[in-house]
Structure 1
Amino acid sequence: MTDPIHPPQGRPRKAAHPSRRSVVAALGAVGCVALPAWPDTARAADRAASAAQDGPVLDTHPATEPSGTHVREVAGTNVVFQYGAVLPAFDGWRTHEPTREYLSLDKRWRFRFDPGNKGLDEGWQSPRFDDRAWGRIDVPSAWDLLDTPGFASETGRFGKGTAFADGYAWYRTTVDVPGSWRARHVRMAFLAAGYSAEVWLDGTHLGKHEGANSPFALPVGKALKPGTRQTIAVRVFRRATYTDYTASPGQPVTDDHEIPYKPVDYWPYAGLTRSAWIEAVPRVTIAKLLVTGANGRLEARAVIENHGPADFDGSLTLDAGRGSGARPTVVTARIPARSAGVVRVSVPVPRAPRWSPASPHTLTARATLTARKPGGPRVDTLSTRYGVRDLSVADGQLRLNGRPLFLKGLNWHEETGAHGRAMTRAAYDKELGHITEVGANFVRNCVYNRHPYVYDWADEHGVLVMDDVDTMWLNTAQEKLQTERYGLARALALTMAWNQHNHPSVILWCLQNESEIDADGAPVYRAWLADMKAAVKAVDLTARPVTWASNTSNDPAFDLADVIGFNEYFGYFYGKDADLGPTLDAVHAKYPGKPILITENGTWSDAGNHGPSTTQGTEEWQAASFTAHWNQVAERSEFVAGFTYWVLKDYKQRAGYNQDHNGISVMGLLTFGEERPKLVHETFRKAVNPRP
């Protein structure tokens, strides 16, 4: 079994109460709403998945995206709900709160592909089904690597192995549920399931999630039987990319509801690719702690759920953390039965150091919920890391702590040849270490959310982050469908901002990548972007700037962006290298108050192919192209906020080209399998940031 990023093990431990308290009820504000209705037993998907005659299976879809993601205002705070509950913090992968109990699901599961889509009819979700003849698979892992020899090699056989096994596959395991969980609220958390997943507990359908790279938590409800052994079944789906992977040209497989809806040029890793666990929390629980540190104060919003039958009357203590200079502060917390409430606390943090790339200081805030009065029995705790920093856009510049930023950045894909997207901690440290090795201060998470470890790493290493969602290469029809009916794009944007809210390293929200703008589609495109922007702005208390990676420098919605972002490939796909400078000048003239960010630029080279810098495909040509573009951007640092190179490392894709390289796109500073540097690696490293 690989060494995934495991949560810590062990039983709950007793935590000490703060030795000093400052009871300041006036600083707290609380309001409540009833928990949204959600069926005790979710309806399973229709058994007849759709498919073209003799073609690949397409998954079924409800009328709107299946998690019920939405925002409700609670005491002036917008709270994200999924599956009838507050979308909780997902820190259980690394932090075990002393008031909670955890069962890790990171282990070997029973596994079977279901190419004929017969599992539901044959009862594979039932605890009575005999799965002893099934194979085994690690969780987390990508089924792509279950049996695909040469996956990481440019000489491997494209189109062969489990890397090209699409449609449905099933996971099954059993867990011994503690009898002590009878009076607990229990949820099952998955950090990722690609592309979609449905979950059953002892045959009871808990729900479905769509979106390959966003975490989700399913309340277990009445399906839980404490003191017994229960069976978990998960059916995962991945749409085929092409009807035939070896045909040239291939026939794409599309689904208007999915995001992305068509083949894209990164690898759609399949399976339970990140950690999973079951978490038992008190019936009155702190689901989420939103914090923002700026201007010498810590603003905190504790989102509290009461799943019990009785009203809760107690208090919440906020400890801003060692080094903050703040005393623990106590405020009233009253939450009616079957409701969610928000307790607000504002405290000065006079000694908290500012977070910056040069000094990435983080602190840990902890909220403690107690019953009846301060000093009463502890009910629940939740902690979160944060940093104190000021982020703003002013006079055409992106500023951190009052100083203009220039982002020397890299795009990167979350994968290795050995693990796919189910990377270990050591693999992340190696991959992310390449970023700091070349002197980059910025990384774009193209084009999906990353494992939570990545954001923690960036906080601790002072690397600035632009976070992305999966909205890549949509066209007008899909933009309209997502905005007016299905709502998955909005759900992905909401959960991105909610989940990554407290990380000081995250400075930009990216709404989409290179989606199409038809001749008559600009109003639809603008409405789609405005909808996603409103979603992230609704839940982000820090008001981070919003941008996107446009495929044009003449985007009809740039007036909606806080930072103008576009991908450019002058001298490669079109025009000349020297066209970049005049293009930047023209965009600045049209939008003089907005910073500009190059969200992608790059070329390619075959490693070891040397020759003139004017010959495409040589390492010299790739390096010279970078230099030409970098210089034009750096010369305009008074209004250009940065440059993001495409891409850190060669990467895998199933988009129908580079089949002669086993699907490896060779645009990186480093090679894919060996991670060997090309000439552009050293050229990038030597590029001097004009605003160090």
Structure 2
Amino acid sequence: MIGWPAAASAEPSSTGILEADSFAKEPMDTVVKPIDGINVVYQYGKPVPAFDTWDSPEAARDYLSLDGMWKFAFDPQDQGLADGWQEQNFDDSSWASEKVPGSWDLYDTPGFGTYDGSRFGEGSAFRDGYAWYRTHLKPDANWKNRFVKLNFLGAGYKTWVYVNGEFVGAHEGGNTPFSLDVGDRLQPGKDNVIAVRVYRRPSFDTYTGPNPKPIRSQTELPPGPVDYWPYAGITRSVYLEASSQVTVSKLLTVAKDHRLRLAAVLYNHGEKEESRLVAADPGEGTGGGIQNREVTIGPGEAKVVSFDLPIPEAQPWDTATPNVYEASVALYKGNGEGQLQNGHGSVDDRLSVRYGMRTIEAANGKLMLNGRQIFLKGVNWHEETAASGRSMTKEEYDAELGLVTDLKANFIRNSVYNRHPYVYEYADKHGLLVMDDLDNMWVDTASIQTQTETYGLSRALALTMAWNQANDPSVILWSLQNESTIGSDPTAYRNWLADMKQAVKSVDLQNRPVTWASSSSWDPAFDLADVIGFNEYFGYFYMKDSDLGPTLDAVHRQYPDKPILITENGTWSIYGTHGSADTAGTEEWQANKFKLHWDQAVARKDFMAGYTFWNLKDYKERDNYNQSLNGISGMGLVTFDNEARRLVYYDFRDAVNPNP
């Protein structure tokens, strides 16, 4: 067997369920607290901060990027904790040096990005279980008595973090940023060590042998093997951020009708009561001015200060005119009013936020952007490249998302997990509409009940999705799940969806529509959705291509007030294989299938919210039915290795959007 963790705690049961270091509930302790009329998301006992600072540093704060070479070692026997791998003085000189961010799958896997499956099952891509990362750092001496956060943009699947040998927090979910308070663990001006323990569950008991048995978890999301690659390691950037003890944790915006509603979440990390002048600026180009408030905030307390700011010169954000503005909130100590008036003094803390003036709603069976009906011509996509796995560079993101704009698409579905913050920035600036998505893929009834009744990870991920992407004008839809089990008794399924929808709505001041990618066009919970979304493969997995149109009509008759979105449709082809449009696997067959479904969706543009092709690019998966292609699915508009374009790429690009 390949990549099997040998620790007894990681052995599967007879049912194929594996629980390694499982928690009683999700380990971030994600809760919502109403503060001054605004619901604030907390994790690890503090407001979840903004992660926009990853590449937009604030002048009032100090930063230390931890990207670079870290010491790395697999821990197949799960002996690292017992052997002190987390300790500051542990000797890691014999460990390998690996780049962070990076996906450990690419550390040593021959031909990972090729279609040659002759070595499928070899290398670090098939190493599961535990691994460790360690790095040394020396924060500036002036960081003493500051609020210091250790920010991870993504690591997974499960992560335990230690600073100088002391445990500071655990995280679950490989695609969601998280932040840990490490100020009382760091020693500014001295050598420090951060150690990160990471765990990935095996997908199968064998990747190359006959009759592989899937390995599942009762609590993880997704709970079992999926048809995309579960990249492991510290896959996105890591950085330290030092601010004043009284800080602006998060800004929330609602911009419409030339007014900006701005809510500033403040947090006092210190040990005494503090007073601050809070100054809100709607940003250049808006025609708005600065407004001030005074606030007193106790130790360990959070407060929300809200502003209603005129922005008379702001222009709407839309697909053709993606006007983006930058608001900011600054905190001043002492006689802040005089400092502002006289133009002197220093800012104690400041946070900026990117926003756009736009509205989005599902009304009368139509999806409306800025009061006009739109049709989403979209693609699903996976966040990966052959060269970098899930740890993509900006240049790779530009190339991938540049394909979307070249396709004349206006929409991307982030199937089925949150993306790197750069993706949302790109979409904001290029006028791409986004459906953000969760790790709730192929969740079975038992796992659904566990998530709703005790564990709470589905709800936690829904909350952080809506919180982290709250301000992006590009994000217009929240998706709650993909093809999960409805079951013979849909009560548990409905309760799960209702719980997540309530969570999202409770923190999204912009009240975006909620949907999901159902496996059925007759989902018994569609009445809960703002937009009906389902994956359809008529004429491929079942029935006939021509059955799509009548099905859409029937769903519309049952839910005439809800727009309908095809969240997935597509087929496969082997690149370079040509022939009849009736021959499965040819590029002509794949292209013809697309046109048949697109035409039926567009013909119903009055109530259709859009059509989303599966998939932008071929993608990696661990299911061994694709072993002959090195685990690559051929359902993309372009190939995985060199992004060569199939015939369907050009047909999709030429398809005319009826309501762009």
Alpha-carbon spacing, 1:452–1:602, altered in 2? closer, same or farther (3 Å): same
Contact 2:103 2:388 in 1 (8 A): yes
Q: Which stretch shows the higher mean deviation, 330-339 or 354-363?
A: 330-339
Q: Which stretch shows the higher mean deviation, 213-222 or 482-491?
A: 213-222
Correspondences of 1:203-602 after superposition (within 5 Å): 203-372=165-334, 373-376=336-339, 377-520=346-489, 522-602=490-570
Contact 1:56 1:167 in 2 (8 A): no
Contact 2:451 2:458 in 1 (8 A): yes
1:49 alignment partner, SS class: helix
| Offset of residue 92 of structure 1 | 2.2
Please name the residue that 1:114 is paired with.
75
Q: Residues of 2 paired with 1:341 and 1:394: CA distance?
A: 35
1:223 alignment partner, SS class: coil
Contact 1:550 1:566 in 2 (8 A): yes
Which residue identity lines up with residue 341 of structure 1 in the other structure?
K
Please name the residue that 1:12 is paired with.
none
Residue of 615, 621, 629 corresponding to 2:597: 629
Alpha-carbon spacing, 1:150–1:56, altered in 2? closer, same or farther (3 Å): farther
| Offset of residue 58 of structure 1 | 4.1
Unaligned runs of 5+ in 2: 1-6, 340-345
Are 1:638 and 2:601 an aligned pair?
A: no
Residue of 4, 12, 17 corresponding to 1:52: 12
Which residue identity lines up with residue 126 of structure 1 in the other structure?
E
Which residue identity lines up with residue 464 of structure 1 in the other structure?
L
Contact 2:326 2:354 in 1 (8 A): yes
Please name the residue that 1:687 is paired with.
655
Are 1:149 and 2:110 an aligned pair?
A: yes
Contact 1:186 1:221 in 2 (8 A): yes
Contact 1:112 1:169 in 2 (8 A): yes
1:207 alignment partner, SS class: strand
Q: Which stretch shows the higher mean deviation, 654-663 or 641-650?
A: 654-663
Contact 1:57 1:167 in 2 (8 A): no
Please name the residue that 2:144 is paired with.
182
Correspondences of 1:70-81 after superposition (within 5 Å): 70-81=31-42
Deviations 1:585-612 (A, max 9, x none): 0000000000000000000000011111
Deviations 1:62-114 (A, max 9, x none): 21100101100001100001111110001221011111111111010000000
Q: Residues of 1 paired with 2:593 and 2:337: CA distance?
A: 64
| Offset of residue 247 of structure 1 | 2.2
Q: Residues of 2 paired with 1:438 and 1:431: CA distance?
A: 11
| Offset of residue 331 of structure 1 | 1.5
Q: Residues of 1 paired with 2:362 and 2:457: CA distance?
A: 29
Q: Residues of 2 paired with 1:685 and 1:146: CA distance?
A: 36
Deviations 1:443-464 (A, max 9, x none): 0000000000000000000000
Contact 2:17 2:216 in 1 (8 A): no
Deviations 1:547-583 (A, max 9, x none): 0000000001000000000000000000000000000
- Give the TM-score normalised by structure 1: 0.92
Deviations 1:521-570 (A, max 9, x none): x0000000000001110100000000000000000100000000000000
Q: Residues of 1 paired with 2:291 and 2:68: CA distance?
A: 41
Which residue identity lines up with residue 383 of structure 2 in the other structure?
E
| Offset of residue 249 of structure 1 | 2.6
Which residue identity lines up with residue 387 of structure 1 in the other structure?
G
Deviations 1:277-296 (A, max 9, x none): 11111100000011111121
Q: Which stretch shows the higher mean deviation, 608-617 or 56-65?
A: 56-65
Residue of 653, 665, 678 corresponding to 2:621: 653
Contact 1:295 1:390 in 2 (8 A): no
Residue of 642, 646, 651 corresponding to 1:678: 646
| Offset of residue 57 of structure 1 | 7.0
Q: Residues of 2 paired with 1:578 and 1:56: CA distance?
A: 41
Which residue identity lines up with residue 134 of structure 1 in the other structure?
W
Deviations 1:416-449 (A, max 9, x none): 0000000001100000000011110000000000
Q: Residues of 2 paired with 1:272 and 1:370: CA distance?
A: 36
Q: Residues of 2 paired with 1:319 and 1:102: CA distance?
A: 24
Q: Residues of 1 paired with 2:71 and 2:10: CA distance?
A: 26
Q: Which stretch shows the higher mean deviation, 170-179 or 441-450?
A: 170-179
Q: Residues of 2 paired with 1:150 and 1:358: CA distance?
A: 41
| Offset of residue 48 of structure 1 | 7.0
Which residue identity lines up with residue 620 of structure 1 in the other structure?
E
Please name the residue that 1:31 is paired with.
none
Q: Residues of 1 paired with 2:641 and 2:139: CA distance?
A: 41
| Offset of residue 61 of structure 1 | 1.8
1:374 alignment partner, SS class: helix
Q: Residues of 2 paired with 1:80 and 1:556: CA distance?
A: 30
Please name the residue that 2:95 is paired with.
134
1:222 alignment partner, SS class: coil
2:331 alignment partner, SS class: strand
Residue of 32, 37, 47 corresponding to 1:86: 47
Q: Residues of 1 paired with 2:295 and 2:280: CA distance?
A: 12
Q: Residues of 2 paired with 1:248 and 1:402: CA distance?
A: 56
Alpha-carbon spacing, 1:48–1:298, altered in 2? closer, same or farther (3 Å): farther
1:64 alignment partner, SS class: coil
Q: Residues of 1 paired with 2:196 and 2:141: CA distance?
A: 24
Q: Which stretch shows the higher mean deviation, 662-671 or 218-227?
A: 218-227
Which residue identity lines up with residue 173 of structure 1 in the other structure?
T
| Offset of residue 394 of structure 1 | 1.4
How many residues were matched structurally?
645
1:657 alignment partner, SS class: helix
Q: Residues of 1 paired with 2:541 and 2:436: CA distance?
A: 26
Contact 2:18 2:215 in 1 (8 A): no
Alpha-carbon spacing, 1:375–1:95, altered in 2? closer, same or farther (3 Å): farther
Q: Residues of 1 paired with 2:209 and 2:281: CA distance?
A: 61
1:631 alignment partner, SS class: helix
2:395 alignment partner, SS class: helix
Are 1:172 and 2:138 an aligned pair?
A: no
Contact 1:410 1:644 in 2 (8 A): yes
Contact 1:322 1:363 in 2 (8 A): yes
Unaligned runs of 5+ in 1: 1-46
Contact 2:245 2:268 in 1 (8 A): yes
Contact 1:196 1:237 in 2 (8 A): yes
Contact 2:556 2:562 in 1 (8 A): yes
Q: Residues of 1 paired with 2:203 and 2:453: CA distance?
A: 26
- Give the TM-score normalised by structure 2: 0.96
Q: Residues of 2 paired with 1:230 and 1:429: CA distance?
A: 35
1:588 alignment partner, SS class: helix
Q: Residues of 1 paired with 2:59 and 2:22: CA distance?
A: 39
| Offset of residue 332 of structure 1 | 2.0
Q: Which stretch shows the higher mean deviation, 312-321 or 277-286?
A: 312-321
2:32 alignment partner, SS class: strand
